[in-house]
Amino acid sequence: MSILEKIRSKTALLVGIVGLALVIFVLESLLGSGGALFANNDRIIGEIAGDKIDVTEFSAKVNEQIMQIQQSNPNATIDEKTKEQIVESVWNQLINDKVIKKQYEKLGISVSDDELYDLMLVHPHQYVIQQLTDQQTGLM
């Protein structure tokens, strides 16, 4: 009986400890990385050169690429492997835009209009010829 008496006399202390533990638990979940107060962070899927990439911006670019593929080839089916390749391509394009192009500009590296004309029309690369050739007629 004396043990029950001691527990009863310390009830307020026990309720206080349990209440404090609950408050700490709730605050930890709110302030943690997945908390509702900072739900904005869930929209960030990555960071390139200090620029945070928002999931809606990235998804819009991926969907734009998918639409371009479907417009250029209406019979094309976009399976999971193709979608992964598109996502990787969009991510690499973002890296190119945010890092590599800035470095080219910083170093003064550029392609002149004459060089571009030569590379596109006079001596085109095989990939350019393939992309610009109509698959049904074989004409460029």
Q: What is the pLDDT of residue 62?
A: 92
Helix-helix angle 11-31:2-9, to 10 degrees: 50
pTM: 0.53
Q: What is the pLDDT of residue 140?
A: 64
Q: CA 27 to CA 20: how far, in whole Å?
A: 11
Q: What is the pLDDT of residue 114?
A: 93
Handedness of CA 113, 71, 131, 82 (dihedral sign): positive
Q: What is the pLDDT of residue 1?
A: 66
Sequence ranges of the domains in the chain: 2-31, 49-109, 110-140
Token pair belonging to 116: 């571009």
Closest by alpha carbon to 94, among 41, 42, 44, 52?
Answer: 52
Q: What is the pLDDT of residue 32?
A: 65
Residue-wise pLDDT tens for the chain (140 aa)? Answer: 677 788 788 888 878 888 888 888 888 877 765 555 555 556 888 888 888 888 898 999 999 999 888 888 888 788 889 899 999 999 999 999 889 888 888 899 988 899 989 988 888 888 888 887 877 776 66
Q: Are 69 and 83 in contact (CB under 8 A)?
A: no
pLDDT by residue (tens digit) across 63-98?
A: 999 988 888 888 878 888 989 999 999 999 999 988
Token pair belonging to 102: 């800035």
Closest by alpha carbon to 66, among 84, 40, 49?
Answer: 84
Q: What is the pLDDT of residue 39?
A: 52
Alpha helix locations (H) across the chain?
Answer: 2-9, 11-31, 55-72, 80-95, 101-107, 113-117, 126-132
Q: What is the pLDDT of residue 91?
A: 93
Token pair belonging to 131: 């992309």
